[in-house]
Structure 1
Amino acid sequence: MNSARTLTEHTLNPRTAGHPWSARADRLQSLTGLMLGGFLLLHMHFESSILLGKEVFYQVVQLLEGGMFSSTGHGFPWVTKAFSVLVLVVVCLHAALALRRFPTQLGQWRLLRSHLGSIAHKDTHAWFWQLITGFVLFFLVPVHLFTMILNPEIGPHLSAERVFHNNAWVLYALLLPAVVVHAMIGLYRVSVKWGWVVHRKPLRKVVKLLIVYLLCLGTSSLVAYMFIGSSLTLPVTPFSPAG
């Protein structure tokens, strides 16, 4: 087990081995990973409130955007913008720390491929899939966050317009499996790495169930936005409970 971890986390990128700040970087990477994994769990459930109806999703948006502090009850879109900037900063920090162990040379990729084919170590294979999904997310997540920063207006109709009429469903269809797999494996590896969980097999089963559950939840939400968007005519009128 130690040799597998050593090969995948250090030999592939030997420049990271032995640096005095490596342990601190590991802790910071785990911390930012926990923050992003927790955010994903909350975000997907907030988004899935569309499955309970337009008005429920509308009320959730107003709550998250601080509608209780507004005289009209409407939230402040700048809250979404500011939070998207914060998440982008955390994502960039997490990615920069993770790149320390990313194979950068063809020989390292060959070594990794040979290693994966020669052992049946589940955690090493999990790390490989986290590596691949992390590479995909490096391109997809900034697109999503920049979209929210530049256009923070969200709601049942406006979000459905973005998904259906602006073809954002393509981005989300690619983003959903990559981010779910990456985040859940990441939470598993952090729990094991810092000794929070001793028995790995039950935790792996929980992670697999979470991945299936979140994929079903996210897909159902995306389909709901598609159906709502297909019923809207341009220009789209923002949803209001009275209308």
Structure 2
Amino acid sequence: MTVRTLLPETSIPGIVGHPWSAKADKIQSVTGILLGCFLLAHLHFESSILLGKEAFYQVVQILEGGMFSETGHGFPVVTKVFSVFILIVVMLHAAVALRRFPAQLGQWRALRRHMNGINHKDSHAWFWQLVTGFILFFLAPVHVFTMITNPEIGPHLSAERVYHANAWLLYALLLPAVVIHAMIGLYRVAVKWGLTANRRGLRKIIKVLIIYLIVIGSLSLLSYMIIGSDLALPVQPFVPE
């Protein structure tokens, strides 16, 4: 006697059980790790503004290859090229991650009923990663495109973008969403690929990291707002004494 098992249909026919599904998982994990590590470095580089304009200026020059310039001034094209690379990684990550999104209203309702009926921390973490991922789908490309079209970075130029161009609103929404999404993503990758068995301990570390990164990111944003409020238009690039 033959026993037949009926599997639920997916929004992407043929994806379940297909070799591509395993490859997509690996691509999603690799790009997620890359973006998560980039976020950790990016927020710390940005937070150098908390040490003063001079400190942030020097960090920018180092990152833009100022040591290879006769004047010591970095090359903004480095920021442009790297931003293009990050955009490609973001698009690739989003493309393989979209297959996990509920495609219909009924699926969202079923997910909500499931979340209300269980108390599983990893499932709740996945839900919040899903929500923040949806938000980032709209916000992240805007930020990256801005850095591609206007790669000039510096204490005054960045403050102008934040304060006078009102980019603070974008960053205020982007910061918590990207931090929560990235840190939960790193946690899920570590668990998924068996890098740790101590889920409770890792969850505590992730919570501390989320709070810490949002705090330093918020303080950096506030610093740019304060600097920008003192700048008169047209804004002149910062020149160290």
TM bracket, shorter-chain basis: over 0.9
Mapped contact 1:13–1:102 kept (Cα < 8 A)? no
Mapped contact 1:66–1:76 kept (Cα < 8 A)? yes
Q: Which residue of 2 aligns with 1:43?
A: 42
2:16 and 2:9 mapped to 1: Cα distance? 8
Amino acid at match of 1:177: P
- After superposition, the Cα gap between the structure-2 partners of 1:88 and 1:187, relative to the gap in structure 1 and judged at 3 Å, is same
Q: Which residue of 2 aligns with 1:69?
A: 68
Q: Which residue of 1 aligns with 2:51?
A: 52
Q: Which residue of 2 aligns with 1:203?
A: 202
* Structure 1 position 111, deviation (Å): 1.1
Mapped contact 1:12–1:103 kept (Cα < 8 A)? no
2:12 and 2:117 mapped to 1: Cα distance? 21
Amino acid at match of 1:82: V
> What are the equivalent positions in structure 2 for 1:1-243 lying under 5 Å apart?
13=11, 15=13, 16-242=15-241
- After superposition, the Cα gap between the structure-2 partners of 1:71 and 1:100, relative to the gap in structure 1 and judged at 3 Å, is same
Mapped contact 1:157–1:229 kept (Cα < 8 A)? yes
2:10 and 2:202 mapped to 1: Cα distance? 27
* Structure 1 position 21, deviation (Å): 1.1
Post-superposition Cα deviations, 1:57-102, rounded to whole Å, max 9, x if no partner, equal 0000000000000011000000000000000000000000000111
Structure 1 vs Structure 2: percent identity of aligned residues? 71
* Structure 1 position 114, deviation (Å): 1.1
1:19 and 1:240 mapped to 2: Cα distance? 57
Mapped contact 1:164–1:226 kept (Cα < 8 A)? yes
* Structure 1 position 11, deviation (Å): 7.3
Amino acid at match of 1:166: A
Listed as ranges, the gaps of 5+ residues in structure 2 are: 1-7
* Structure 1 position 129, deviation (Å): 0.3
1:21 counterpart SS class: helix
* Structure 1 position 156, deviation (Å): 0.2
* Structure 1 position 19, deviation (Å): 1.5
2:213 and 2:133 mapped to 1: Cα distance? 18
> Aligned residue pairs: how many?
234
1:207 and 1:214 mapped to 2: Cα distance? 10
2:178 and 2:202 mapped to 1: Cα distance? 19
2:19 counterpart SS class: coil
2:203 and 2:142 mapped to 1: Cα distance? 31
1:103 counterpart SS class: coil
Which is worse superposed, 107-116 or 224-233? 107-116
1:143 and 1:83 mapped to 2: Cα distance? 15
* Structure 1 position 180, deviation (Å): 0.3
Which is worse superposed, 108-117 or 71-80? 108-117
Mapped contact 2:160–2:228 kept (Cα < 8 A)? yes
* Structure 1 position 107, deviation (Å): 1.3
* Structure 1 position 110, deviation (Å): 1.3
Listed as ranges, the gaps of 5+ residues in structure 1 are: 1-9
* Structure 1 position 173, deviation (Å): 0.1
